[in-house]
């Protein structure tokens, strides 16, 4: 895919580099020459350009890329103006970064494909890491609902799945069980193999290294996790 990233600071620069590393074609844009020089050899193309200037912005291949990402954050006025000009130029797919709720509210008026809130997401991820440690992988669905994958805690080993009563006690729905079993590879070495079991016996007793996948509200999962740790 082809992307234009406008704003090559700490956030935009990483986005441009990571997209390039994944094999995408990235055009980077910034009015700061140093930012452009830092990335010009790491992405497909980089321009020193003031994207708030309508004529300058029009020189970019805005309609020949899949997505334009406005990564400008701190300069509220520049961010909103660039988004406004992109909408005026009928750019089909626009993502834009918002640094606070006011910024996000203004951007919402433009009906963008996605509003990015990296600072808020990073803070949320840190809190989740501190609360859940590395034993749980949370996948956000919306502000409240998540899918959680976690290794079977010691307290649950040997407990039949039908006795967990996650839905009744914690409003958590089990989506899948990932069974762990030891097998021998072609060299005769014992290794751990995991397989997804979407259909499993309710009286199946959870084993060490098994993993459960469930769906529910974050706060409900936190109550469950604290109850079994």
Query: Which part of the chain is CATH 3.40.50.720?
Result: 2-118
Structure tokens that stand for 189 in this block: 């070495």
Asked if 228 contacts 153 with a C-beta cutoff of 8 angstroms, the reply is yes
Provide mean pLDDT across the span 24-37. Answer: 96
Dump pLDDT digits (tens) for 175-199: 888 887 666 666 666 665 667 776 6
Dump pLDDT digits (tens) for 42-77: 999 999 999 999 999 999 999 999 999 999 988 999
SS3 state at 160: strand
Rounded to an integer, what distance in angstroms lies between the CA atom of residue 30 and that of residue 191?
50
Q: In what order do the strands lie in the sheet with 145-151?
A: 136-140, 145-151, 211-217, 173-184, 190-197
Asked if 30 contacts 48 with a C-beta cutoff of 8 angstroms, the reply is yes
Q: Map tokens 């996000």 to a residue.
A: 104
CA within 13 Å, CB half, 98: 20
Let me know how long the chain is.
229
**CATH classification of 129-228 is 3.30.70.1450, yes or no?**
yes
Provide mean pLDDT across the span 24-51. Answer: 95
Structure tokens that stand for 201 in this block: 């016996």
Query: Which part of the chain is CATH 3.30.70.1450?
Result: 129-228
Dump pLDDT digits (tens) for 78-123: 999 999 999 999 999 999 999 988 999 999 999 999 999 988 888 7
CA within 13 Å, CB half, 120: 12
pLDDT, position 152: 86
Q: What is the DSSP string of 65-96?
A: SSEEEE---S-HHHHHHHHHHHHHTT-S-EEE
Q: What angle do CA 55, 58, 63 make, to 5 degrees?
A: 170
- Which residues 6+ apart lie within 8 Å of 203 measured at CB? 160, 161, 162
Q: Is this structure's pTM higher than 0.75?
A: no
Could you tell me which of 69, 65, 71 has the C-alpha nearest to residue 25? 65
> What's the CATH architecture for 2-118?
3-Layer(aba) Sandwich (3.40)
Rounded to an integer, what distance in angstroms lies between the CA atom of residue 145 and that of residue 26?
33
């Amino acid at each position: 895919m082809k992307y234009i990233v406008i704003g090559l600071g700490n956030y935009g620069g990483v986005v441009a580099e990571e997209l390039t590393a994944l094999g995408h074609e990235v055009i980077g844009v910034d009015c700061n020459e140093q930012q452009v020089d830092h990335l010009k050899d790491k992405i497909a193309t980089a321009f020193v350009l003031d994207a708030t200037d309508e004529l300058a912005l029009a020189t970019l291949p805005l309609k020949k890329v899949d997505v334009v990402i406005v990564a400008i954050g701190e300069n509220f006025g520049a961010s909103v103006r660039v988004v406004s000009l992109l909408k005026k130029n009928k750019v089909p797919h626009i993502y834009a970064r918002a640094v606070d709720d006011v910024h996000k509210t203004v951007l919402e008026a433009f009906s963008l494909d996605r509003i990015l809130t990296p600072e808020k997401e990073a803070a949320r991820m840190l809190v989740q890491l501190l609360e859940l440690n590395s034993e749980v992988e949370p996948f956000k669905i919306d502000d409240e609902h998540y899918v959680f994958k976690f290794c079977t805690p010691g307290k649950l080993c040997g407990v039949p799945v039908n006795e967990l009563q996650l839905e009744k006690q914690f409003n958590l729905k089990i989506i899948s069980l990932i069974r762990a079993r030891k097998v021998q590879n072609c060299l005769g070495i014992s290794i751990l193999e995991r397989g997804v079991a979407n259909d499993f016996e309710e009286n199946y007793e959870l084993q060490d290294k098994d993993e459960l996948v469930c769906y529910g509200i974050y706060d409900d999962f936190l109550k469950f996790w604290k109850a079994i740790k």
